[in-house]
Amino acid sequence: MTRTRTPSRSAAHRRRGPQLSVDPIACAAHGLCADLLPDHVGLDEWGYPILDHGRSSGPIGADQLPHARAAVSACPTLALRLDHPRDPS
């Protein structure tokens, strides 16, 4: 019988990386986030952001992190957030 090792929960969290989320109440459909982070943010027909998987994005890779931070900083209503998964302890 072969045993496979499963990664620890904290390792899985680290691998997931930060994720974007949008507060749909605060968002005013300016669309800046889609301009600054087109790989993770699209816009619906009214100009509201559509992230990778609905209300939160997939993990943001290291190569996209500067763009994600720029998009969060540029959001005029503070609706766009970059959340970092916490290690369970």
Which residues are near ligand SF4 by CB under 6 A?
22, 27-33, 49, 75-77, 79-80
Min separation Cβ 62 and ligand SF4, Å: 22
Looking at the Cβ atoms of 22 and 68, the one nearer to ligand SF4 is 22
For residues 40 and 20, the answer to whether their CB atoms sit within 8 Å is: yes
- Residue 33, judged by CB atoms within 10 A of its CB (0-12, 13-18, 19+), counts as buried
Q: Do residues 63 and 1 lie in contact, with contact meaning Cβ atoms separated by under 8 Å? A: no
Do the bridges between strand 19-22 and strand 80-83 make them parallel or antiparallel, or are there none, so unpaired?
Answer: antiparallel
Query: In the complex, what is the shortest distance from the CB of residue 9 to ligand SF4, in angstroms, rounded to a whole number?
Result: 30
Between residues 44 and 63, which has the closer beta carbon with respect to ligand SF4?
A: 44
Cα 72 from Cα 18, distance rounded (Å): 12
Minimum CB distance to ligand SF4, residue 52 (Å): 14
Q: Which is nearer to ligand SF4, 7 or 76 (CB)?
A: 76
